[in-house]
A and B are shown apart, each in its own frame.
Chain A
């Protein structure tokens, strides 16, 4: 599941939670699910951020190779 999809799922759950007609029992269950989903989103985001960091470093090195900085 992509980060985008995970966020979308979480968002749908929060929308539902915000519904005033939602039964409390259901709200608690849904809240538990939403917390779980939020954790997944946080983990995926963290992983994506790490990947991005590596990519940025590689891209920087590549750029230096193609177009060395003026003093380098």
Chain B
């Protein structure tokens, strides 16, 4: 059994050979919309994806073929392409090699995009005056994106660096394919009902244009337009603008740009505070030193002033006490003076005219009294 098994390479070679000799898959016309177109200047070839509503196929067209056609291929065009199906045995990938192509005008997907855009625009879904302002300092970010995706990490890494104190809650959603609209709508409902999330961002990294078509879904665009909290979108690359981008309150070109936009205010205020503290610290230190010097001098001056005043008061007090001692009315008696009173009236005799013969006088000396009669 194992001896008859083919290697993968042998199998792929076999398929390639069958394809090569299969008339149904050689020189056939196919028709579809160009949903992506990339030219590699040094490779001499361009790669494009042709799609219709059910499927898509990768195609290659060489420069010599492009030189022979009368239009410049671009995404959104419906084309007819003549070519063959080939298989690259090493990778096992199938590709349609185009020998000739012609245009048939704007594709159905593009037409549908324009029709929906016009309708939603008329309804006011993209009006600037209904867009909510994005908080300068969000309290809690709700991040709707594919869990663990590169876009998620780009955002989380940069935002956490700028505003490490702001929590981010990732609300996972499928960001491409058939189930994506439902999961995105569910994620939006969770974010809207979350008690602390105050800013929501729908994030998806770059990808093929057809992978981003989910963000043109009418249901999703309406949900974003009617979302009750400030909502940002950062979907695909800078050149991709979806209807969800137009409906959101702010469109950021990339996840990185969204992280910078939401985190910049925190970064700037933190930076300002650091600069302020750095400059103010030494200034305050100088001011404090000056104050300390003033306080020191005031205390010293106060001490001197009080000492001086005390000395003055003491001197004054001593002077007054000396004067008081001298002003003692009895002091004069000790010096030999005496006080003479008329005994009958007890009046002090200051003049001879107050006296009559035989008047009895009372003489007060420093250590006692005696009486005398006037003659």
- The chain A residues found within 8 Å of chain B, CB to CB, are 3, 7, 10-11, 14, 17-18, 23-24, 27-28, 31, 34-35, 38, 41-42, 45, 48-49, 52, 55-56, 59, 62-63, 66-67
Is B352 part of the contact surface with A, judged by Cβ < 8 Å?
Answer: no
Whether A31 and B300, one on each chain, are in contact in the complex, defined by CB atoms closer than 8 angstroms, is: no
Q: Given the known A-B contacts A63-B296, A66-B295, A67-B296, are A41 and B303 also in contact in the complex, defined by CB atoms under 8 Å?
A: no
Given contacts A7-B320, A66-B295, A67-B296, list 9 more A-B pairs with CB under 8 A: A7-B313, A24-B339, A38-B324, A45-B313, A45-B314, A49-B310, A55-B306, A56-B307, A59-B303
The listed residue (A28, A34, A56, A67) touching B324 by CB distance below 8 A is A34
Provide the residues of chain A in CB contact with B165, threshold 8 Å.
none
Whether A45 and B327, one on each chain, are in contact in the complex, defined by CB atoms closer than 8 angstroms, is: no
In the bound complex, CA of A38 to CA of B323 (Å): 11
Instruction: Determine which residue in B300, B313, B323, B327 has the highest number of CB atoms from chain A within 10 A of its CB, and name it.
Output: B327
In the bound complex, CA of A58 to CA of B295 (Å): 14
Provide the residues of chain A in CB contact with B310, threshold 8 Å.
48-49, 52
Interface of B is mostly: helix
Question: What 6 A-B pairs are tightest by C-beta distance, nearest first?
Answer: A17-B327, A27-B329, A14-B323, A59-B299, A59-B303, A66-B296
B307-321 contacts to A, CB under 8 A, are 307, 310, 313-314, 316-317, 320-321
In the bound complex, CA of A56 to CA of B306 (Å): 9
Is B348 part of the contact surface with A, judged by Cβ < 8 Å?
Answer: yes
Is B302 part of the contact surface with A, judged by Cβ < 8 Å?
Answer: yes
In the bound complex, CA of A63 to CA of B320 (Å): 36
Whether B313 and A3, one on each chain, are in contact in the complex, defined by CB atoms closer than 8 angstroms, is: yes
Q: Given the known A-B contacts A10-B320, A45-B317, are A34 and B327 also in contact in the complex, defined by CB atoms under 8 Å?
A: yes
Provide the residues of chain B in CB contact with A7, threshold 8 Å.
313, 316-317, 320
The listed residue (A11, A23, A41, A63) touching B299 by CB distance below 8 A is A63
The listed residue (A18, A41, A48) touching B327 by CB distance below 8 A is A18
Chain B nearest Cβ from A72, distance in angstroms: 15
Whether B324 and A35, one on each chain, are in contact in the complex, defined by CB atoms closer than 8 angstroms, is: yes
Is B148 part of the contact surface with A, judged by Cβ < 8 Å?
Answer: no
Whether A66 and B327, one on each chain, are in contact in the complex, defined by CB atoms closer than 8 angstroms, is: no
